[in-house]
Amino acid sequence: MTAIRAVTAGLALLLAAACTAPTTPRSQSRSSGATVCAKPSGRLPAQTPTTIDVIEQAYHCILGNYYSGSTMDARSLLTAGFVALTRELNLNGRDVADATMPALTGDRKADWTAFEAVYRKVTDQVPDLRDKLAVVTLEAIVASLGDNHASWAHGGGGRPPDFYDGDGYGLGLQANVNGPQVDINPGTALPPLFVTTVEGGAAQAAGLRPGDIIESIDGSAPFIDGKLTPVIAALYPRYPEADPVELRLSRPGTGRRWSVTLKPGVYQRDLATLQGVTSKLLEGGIAYVRLRGFAPDAAERVFRAISRLRTGRTLTGVVLDLRGNGGGKAPEAIRLASGFVHGKVTAYMCTVDAKCEALRTDDTVELLNLPLAVLTDRGCASACEHFSSTVKDLGIGHLVGTRTAGLISGPAEPFQLSNNTMLAFPTRHHLGPGRETIDRIGVPPDHHVPLTPQDAAAGRDPALAKALTLLEK
């Protein structure tokens, strides 16, 4: 799966850790005696069961450290947790007469005491469900933040023995509707649903090609009245093993329509997918560089790629392809932007009371002095949006393609809970160089050039073609 899936599934400790900017946690006033959450140090010990004490710890950790925790109505956290608790009881056919939400007053300490009393009374009556109820309750509390960089990493089970670094897991394909659209922002997805990339695995074995239109998934339409349906999540199965997926497909230009059943599994990705940075020289002396994620050395690798292409020739411009770039380290986005502009603010990190720190270009980076065009899509998230908004707001290049993901609430910081699970969320909120909100909105391109099934089937790249015409002017 792509780096984008990391935004949605474990939250990132790929994205969460990748975006982390070190911050000392604010002190937490605790009268209950429960352990205060702390920044992790070193390798985590084995996880232990989630209990009501762990839930309490997470509750206070959020209120004491989340960027809007000091002003939020804590009743929303407890209500979400109780909804999940009662839903899980119902799903297991074990509803309890005492499972009635206590009256909440807005007093954080008193409300927790009331919640805990009812929670303990309920779970004592279904001891075999205690672990499961604690997990769904805490999951719901974190989800109620509505923050795409907030997560609770727990569970696990590891990877199968044959899952090596560089392997992928899933159907072996990517579609024009990506993971974040499925899990977080489905309203941004537009029909039709079609294959954009075949990475390997079952999709490759079945002969699928870019441009193939997916008409149904397990017998259900992926779009109804132009709106995405939940069935599309089956395209992006998560480990452990998921059920086989039946697709009904059609191929543009040939009229072929057929069905195929794909079994998710481990597959070896091709070399281009594995490499974080790939580059080539295009006609007219334009350097093309594709960056798939803002890893710790991403900016330097891009600069080296451009330098190699520049050796012995004069470059006339750079096309930086950020499509499908799921983000990573914000400092790398700043450093990369610094190769094109100096003396500017690239973003602001703000507290809930609008106290903002400006993130500025690193002016020790040598300027490339080359015209720039950047290719974006709905797969460009987090640090990728930091870079894209810098390019757009500061006018240092053209954005071409489609709007970015809108998944940039703020750098996620990890907090260790007493059962050795990891809570992660932003302690500050991200704003663009113009102090604009990008989260849930995305960065619009200067030139809207979407990919169509016909383009994908024919191997055409209209966004790249447009970028080249802009650089030739």
Which residue is listed with tokens 């059920």? 243
Q: Is the bond preceding residue 192 a cis peptide, omega within 30 degrees?
A: yes
The 3-class secondary structure across the chain, one letter per residue, is: CCCCHHHHCCCHHHHHHHHCCCCCCCCCCCCCCCCCCECCCCCCCCCCCCCHHHHHHHHHHHHHHCCCCCCCCCHHHHHHHHHHHHHHHHHCCCCCCCCCCCCCCCCHHHHHHHHHHHHHHHHCCCHHHHHHHHHHHHHHHHHCCCCCCCEEECCCCCCCCCCCCCEEEECCEEECCCHHHHHCCHHHCCCCCEEEEECCHHHHHCCCCCCCEEEEECCECCEECCEECHHHHHHCCCCCCCCCEEEEEECCCCCCEEEEEECCEEEECCHHHHCCEEEEEECCCEEEEEECCECCCHHHHHHHHHHHHHCCCCCCEEEEECCCCCCECHHHHHHHHCCCCCCCEEEEEECCCCCEEEEECCCCCCCCCCCEEEEECCCCCCHHHHHHHHHHHHCCCEEEECCCCCCCCCCEEEEECCCCCEEEEECCEEECCCCCCCCCCCCCCCEECCCCHHHHHHCCCHHHHHHHHHHHC
Task: Look at residue 471 in the predicted model and tell me its pLDDT.
Answer: 97
- pTM attached to this predicted model: 0.89
- For the record, the structure tokens of 270 come out as 């091709």
What would the mean pLDDT of 217-233 be, rounded to a whole number? 96
For domain 167-268, is the CATH number 2.30.42.10?
yes
The C-alpha atoms of residue 87 and residue 85 are separated, in whole angstroms, by 5
The C-alpha atoms of residue 45 and residue 252 are separated, in whole angstroms, by 53
Whether the pLDDT of residue 32 is over 60: the answer is no
**Span 241-286, pLDDT tens digits:** 789 999 999 999 899 999 999 999 988 876 666 568 999 999 999 9
Whether the pLDDT of residue 18 is over 50: the answer is no
Whether the pLDDT of residue 21 is over 50: the answer is no
Confidence of residue 162 (pLDDT cuts 50, 70, 90): very low
**Span 331-381, pLDDT tens digits:** 999 999 999 999 999 999 999 999 999 999 999 999 999 999 999 999 999
Task: Look at residue 42 in the predicted model and tell me its pLDDT.
Answer: 81
Whole-angstrom CA distances from 95 to 86, 90, 132, 133 are: 7, 5, 14, 12
Show me where the domains of the chain are located.
Answer: 10-153, 167-268, 274-412+428-472
The C-alpha atoms of residue 472 and residue 128 are separated, in whole angstroms, by 68
Spell 160-171 as b/e; 16+ CB within 10 A means b.
eeeeeeebbbbb
Whether the pLDDT of residue 12 is over 60: the answer is no
Which CATH fold topology does 274-412+428-472 show? 2-enoyl-CoA Hydratase; Chain A, domain 1 (3.90.226)
- For the record, the structure tokens of 250 come out as 């059609």
Task: Look at residue 160 in the predicted model and tell me its pLDDT.
Answer: 43
**Span 133-161, pLDDT tens digits:** 999 999 999 999 999 999 999 875 444 44
Whole-angstrom CA distances from 81 to 47, 93, 191, 465 are: 21, 19, 35, 50
Task: Look at residue 43 in the predicted model and tell me its pLDDT.
Answer: 83
Task: Look at residue 15 in the predicted model and tell me its pLDDT.
Answer: 37
The C-alpha atoms of residue 180 and residue 3 are separated, in whole angstroms, by 11
Task: Look at residue 326 in the predicted model and tell me its pLDDT.
Answer: 92
The C-alpha atoms of residue 411 and residue 405 are separated, in whole angstroms, by 15
The C-alpha atoms of residue 57 and residue 426 are separated, in whole angstroms, by 17
| Inter-helix orientation angle 75-91/130-143, to 10° | 140
Task: Look at residue 427 in the predicted model and tell me its pLDDT.
Answer: 97
Task: Look at residue 166 in the predicted model and tell me its pLDDT.
Answer: 57
